[in-house]
Amino acid sequence: MTKEVGSFQDNIRRTFIRYSLVPVAAIVILALVIFSFSWSYFQAHYNKQDNKAVSQELSRIINIYYEMVSDVEDSFLEKDNKVDQAEVFEILYRRTAEFGEIGNLIILTPAQQVLFTSKDHVPGYLTSHVYSNWGVWRNIRDNQGQTSTILYEKTLYITKGIYDGDELRGAIVYAVPGEVAQTAISGQSRYIIITDSNGWIYASNTKKLQDAYGRILSSYNTGTGFKKIDQSFYYSCKTVTGKGINVITINDITRSMWLIAILVGILTGIFVAIALITYRSTANSSIKYTKDIAKITDAFEAVQNGDFDVSLNIDSSKEFKIIGGDFNNMLNGLKDQIEQNKELAENAAFSQVKQLESQFNPHFLFNTLDNIRFMAKIDAKAADKMIVSLSGLLRYSIRDVREEVTVREDLSNIQYYLNILQIRFNKRFAYEMDVAEDIMDYLIPKLLLQPLMENAVKYGFAGQEKLTVKIRGYQKQEKLVFVCEDDGAGIEEDKLLEIQKNLSENADSSQHFGLYNIDRRIRLMYKGDYGLDITSKKDEGTTVRIVLPKHKEA
């Protein structure tokens, strides 16, 4: 797997984003979630709590009435199915004392005749025969001696049939005063609806949430939980009290949901804005903070491209300042080192050149001295001339340390060597000098031409009587060219290939060192496309060509 290595600036920027945006996003989301969580928890919790309170209160009230009805029944039975007005009123007042309203307690015979009423009026549906098995009376009969509740004509009745075995002896009906339930649900901030088991509303603190028939809308009457009804949100809680009464508490949380939605929207907006701003500003600040790194990178690149004159000037922070200073020191050290190396190399080249130019072929010396001895016997004058020439030549070769001499100078000193050759080979050796006058003042390596002569003589005489050597010198553009031609025996082909190979490889060889020396010296002294090449043909002669840069003494 290859992973692209990002730039330091990108990494810094990513770090900025990661350590600013991600924690902010995380905290915001976390805060929202926790907020929503606790908000909905408390909505549900307080709703349930209120619901429980109302249900318990209602149950408590209804229980009081149940006990009251039971007391009245006891009194009725004690008095042998007769009503003791005073006693019933006493029970009624005692039990309803806390509500401040006695309500309508009615005692009826099975034939629907009124035996007792605490309010001087009895609804027709309790006395009319039409209702003998309808509404309240049906409830009395259906519940055979059990106390029960029924909502009829918007009034909550607590009923009890007084039975002797299967025979109905009388009926106690108590109409719960409407204010009692209203008091229990008033002062609540949420909707509270009290219904019978079929959803018909008995008491409610709102006109909403019910249909045209006075029944709670069925969608609100389905248990406890969050609900979405017609674009509105609710939390509703339902308690079935077991006394035929249901308590439903409903929170309209639509507005809160809107607020939360707006809150989320605003937070998201702010977050997006922060994200955008951070994204933009990190681009700038990361460039700013990594400016020094960029400087360092540029400096290293410059050095790599060969520019040693750069310097790092950083003063933004201590660390980078140290790095910059160290870099500069290092670069200076490097520059000195390179300078030294160059000098050393030049020195080495110089000494090598010196060594090379001082190499005379010992054969030449031996031959010349042998000739001088011989000449001394037959021609003292010639011997004398040879000694003078040899000593001139030696003096020239060892004289002063200059590596370069003018063409004129070298030519005049080569004359010593030519003299020696002339005496030695007499008429067998001839030479021509054809050096252009306009190159006479240019500089060439000392003893450049002598080895050429020596080489021509060495190979040219093999098996033939006469040898003519032609030396030409001329300038060609910015170069000096010297050509040494002879009409000698030429060089064997194998030998020539070997020489050419050795020349091209810059290799050293003990033989032909004259030519190699010249080539090596030229290459060491002059950088560029300069040097020596040799061509030869068997029995036709050899040509050596030297190319040098054209330059004068400064």
Residues forming the site for another protein (CB under 8 A)? 18, 22-23, 26, 29-30, 33-34, 36-37, 40-41, 44, 128, 130-131, 133-135, 138-139, 142, 150-153, 196, 198-200, 212-214, 218, 221-227, 235-236
DSSP summary character for residue 134: S
User: Greatest CA separation found in the chain?
Assistant: 195
Beta bridge partners of 543: 485, 535
Q: Between residues 236 and 368, which has the closer beta carbon with respect to another protein?
A: 236
Q: How far is the CB of 131 from another protein (least distance, A)?
A: 7
Q: Write b or e for each residue in 216-235: b if 16 or more Cβ atoms lie within 10 A of its Cβ, otherwise e.
A: beeebbeebeebeeeeebbb
Q: Between residues 36 and 186, which has the closer beta carbon with respect to another protein?
A: 36
Q: How far is the CB of 277 from another protein (least distance, A)?
A: 21
Q: Between residues 211 and 339, which has the closer beta carbon with respect to another protein?
A: 211
Q: How far is the CB of 140 from another protein (least distance, A)?
A: 12
The span from the CA of 291 to the CA of 294, in Å, is: 5
Q: Between residues 22 and 380, which has the closer beta carbon with respect to another protein?
A: 22
Q: In angstroms, what CA-CA distances link 328 with 102, 299, 474?
A: 107, 10, 50
Q: How far is the CB of 38 from another protein (least distance, A)?
A: 10
Q: Between residues 56 and 143, which has the closer beta carbon with respect to another protein?
A: 143
Question: Residue 181 burial (CB < 10 Å; 0-12/13-18/19+)?
Answer: buried
Strand ranges, E, within 407-478: 429-435, 443-445, 467-476
Q: How far is the CB of 223 from another protein (least distance, A)?
A: 5
CB 439 within 8 A of CB 407: yes
Nearest by Cα to 115 from 169, 175, 177, 71: 169
DSSP string, 332-352: HHHHHHHHHHHHHHHHHHHHH
Q: How far is the CB of 172 from another protein (least distance, A)?
A: 19
Structure tokens at 238: 């339902």
Nearest by Cα to 372 from 408, 419, 302: 419
Helices (H), 290-317: 291-304
The span from the CA of 333 to the CA of 341, in Å, is: 12
Structure tokens at 540: 């036709």
Q: Between residues 121 and 552, which has the closer beta carbon with respect to another protein?
A: 121
Collapsing DSSP states into helix, strand and coil, what is residue 210? strand
Beta bridge partners of 228: 233
Q: Between residues 7 and 133, which has the closer beta carbon with respect to another protein?
A: 133
Q: Between residues 148 and 517, which has the closer beta carbon with respect to another protein?
A: 148
Q: How far is the CB of 117 from another protein (least distance, A)?
A: 21
Q: Between residues 191 and 442, which has the closer beta carbon with respect to another protein?
A: 191
DSSP string, 271-286: HHHHHHHHHHHHHHHH
Q: How far is the CB of 80 from another protein (least distance, A)?
A: 32
DSSP string, 233-286: EEEEEEEE-SSSEEEEEEEE-HHHHHHHHHHHHHHHHHHHHHHHHHHHHHHHHH
Q: How far is the CB of 110 from another protein (least distance, A)?
A: 17
Q: Between residues 105 and 237, which has the closer beta carbon with respect to another protein?
A: 237
Q: How far is the CB of 346 from another protein (least distance, A)?
A: 58
